[in-house]
Amino acid sequence: MFGLENAQSLVGVALAIGICWALSENRRAFPWKLAIGAVLVQAVLVLALFGLPALRAGLQEVGHAVDGLSSSTQAGVAFVFGFLAGSGDQRYNLTNPGALFVFAFRVLPVILVVCALAALLWHWRILRWITQGFGVVFSKTMGLRGPPALATAATVFMGQVEGPIFIRSYLPSLSRSELFMLLAVGMSCVSGSTMVAYATILKDVLPNAASHVLTASIISAPAGVLLARILVPRVPDEEVEADAEAVKDKTYDSSVDALIKGTSDGLSIVLNVAATLIVFVALVAMVNGLLGMLGNVAGAPISVERILGIVFAPLAWALGIKWADAPTAGSLLGVKLVLTEFTAFIRMSAIPTTALDERTRMIMTYALCGFANIASVGINVAGYSVLAPERRAEIMGMVWKAMMAGFLATCLTASVVGVMFTSLFAHTPKPPAPAPAPVLKPTLAPNPASGPPADLPVKP
C-alpha cells in the first residue's frame, strides 16, 4: 500500500537529479526525455522483477545459487586453511561460534570463485551474449552509441575498469560526455564477483539479499547514465563514428585457460579489496583516536561515524527512511563514501535486526550497492591511465565529479525502490533461522581474553 513513507522517497529522486542539474556544465541542456525514461525504466524493472511470479521465482533461485556457491567455496577454503576457515573440527573450545565468520575466509574467497566462473562463462559465450543483449537495450532505450553501450553493459557484470577494456581501442576517440558517463556508471554499479560477496554478507539480516543486490547493480546503470548526462551533457558534434575494428573481444585459449586467468584476475581484486579495507579502516581508527581526545559529546565520544551520521542523516531521510533510523543510515552512507561499500555492508550486517527497520535495511542495500568511494577514484585513475594514457589529465579533472554522480545514482536507485509499494517486496521469504551451533569437544583450554574484533560481522 502506498503511504507517506513512499511519497517521502520522491524527495530523494528530486534531490539526486536536482543536485546534478545545479552542478551541470550546461543547465540549459537538461535531458528531459532521458530523465523520465531512466526513472521509468528503473521502476518497471523493479515491478517486473519483484511483481511477476516467474521473475520473482527466478530472483529467489538466485539466492539459493548464492548459498550453494558460498558453501562450495567454503569446501575449497577449508581444504587450504583447515579449522582456521571455521569448518570441520575446531581445535579450541568456542565461547562464541559466530566468531567463525571471518571476512578473509568467508567473503574474499567467493570473489576468487566468481571471477573464475565469469571467465569460464565468457569463454562459453553465455556471459558475452548477456552483455551484448544489455548493450542493445542501453543503445535503444537511452540513446547510447554502440561502443559506449557495450562498455556500460560490461561494466554492470565485470566492474568499473574491466568493462571499458572491451572498447579499449575506442576510448581515445570517445567524446568528453561519453568518457565521463563510463566513469560515472562504473561507480554506480558493482561487479558480478562483489555482488555475490555482498549477498553473502547480508544473507542473514536481509530476506533474499541476493535478489536485492543483483537488482540494485542492474537498475543503477540507467541512473548512472542519466546523472552523467545531466552533469556533462552530450555534445553530438564531438562524437566520432565508431570503427567496427575498434571494439575488441576478450578471448581465452580454452576452458582451463579461462579458469586460470579468471582466478588470477580474481586474486588481484581480492588483494586490492583486502589492502584497501586494512588501510582505510586503520586511517579512520587513527582519526577516531584523535577525536576521542576531545572527550564525550552528548554522552558518547566523537567519531568519524557519528559525524557522517549527522551530515548524511537528511539525505537518508530523503531516500524514504524514517527519521529514527536516519542517523544510522546516514552513517552507513558516509562510511560507504569514505571507507568503501564493503565496510558499510559489513557494519550494516553487524547491526541487530531489531535495531534497524527491515524497510530501512532494504533501501540502504540499494543506496550502498555501488563503487562510488574515495578508493575507487584511485582505481579509476590508475586503470584509465593504462587504458587511455593520452586522456589521463582529462580523467583526473572529471573523476571526483564522477564519484559524486555514482554516489547520487545509487541514492536515486534507492529512492525509486522506496517509492514502490511496500507489499511488492513482501513476497520474498525471510531467511531460515540459523541452526544451533554443534557441541564441540575442546582440545585446548579456552582463552577468555580472546574474541573477535568489534568491527567484524558476527552471524546471528
pLDDT tens track for 42-60: 888 888 888 788 877 777 7
**Do residues 367 and 212 lie in contact, with contact meaning Cβ atoms separated by under 8 Å?**
no
Residue 395 lies in a domain: yes
Better-predicted residue by pLDDT, 207 or 84 = 207
Joined together, the cell numbers standing for residue 13 give: 529522486
pLDDT at site 57: 79
Structural domain that includes position 96: 4-236+265-427
Residue 241 lies in a domain: no
pLDDT at site 41: 86
pLDDT of 343 above 60: yes
> Using 50, 70 and 90 to split pLDDT, how confident is the model at 321?
very high
pLDDT at site 15: 94
CA 62 – CA 249 distance, rounded (Å):
28
Task: Read off the pLDDT of each residue in 188-214 and give the average, rounded to a whole number.
Answer: 82
Burial call 115-128: b when 16+ CB within 10 Å, e when fewer: bbbbbbbbbeeebb
The one-character DSSP state at 206 is: S
Average pLDDT of the chain, as a whole number: 79
pLDDT digits (tens, 9 = 90+) for 411-451: 999 999 998 877 667 644 444 444 444 444 444 444 444 44
> Using 50, 70 and 90 to split pLDDT, how confident is the model at 329?
very high
**Closest C-alpha among 143, 134, 174 to residue 34:** 143
Better-predicted residue by pLDDT, 393 or 422 = 393
Residue 142 lies in a domain: yes
Residue 187 lies in a domain: yes
Residue 9 lies in a domain: yes
pLDDT of 307 above 90: no
Helix, strand or coil for residue 305? helix
Q: Which of the residue ranges 147-151, 182-186, 237-241, 444-448 would you say has the lowest mean pLDDT?
A: 444-448
| Bridge partner list, 297 | 300
CA 366 – CA 356 distance, rounded (Å):
15
pLDDT at site 416: 93
Better-predicted residue by pLDDT, 185 or 130 = 185
Residue 107 lies in a domain: yes
> Using 50, 70 and 90 to split pLDDT, how confident is the model at 89?
low
Residue 47 lies in a domain: yes
Structural domains of the chain, count? 1
| Bridge partner list, 301 | 296
Q: What is the greatest pairwise CA distance in the chain?
A: 74
Better-predicted residue by pLDDT, 265 or 240 = 265
Q: Which residue in the block uniquely carries the three cell numbers 548464492?
A: 66
Residue 442 lies in a domain: no
pLDDT of 226 above 90: yes
> Using 50, 70 and 90 to split pLDDT, how confident is the model at 98?
low
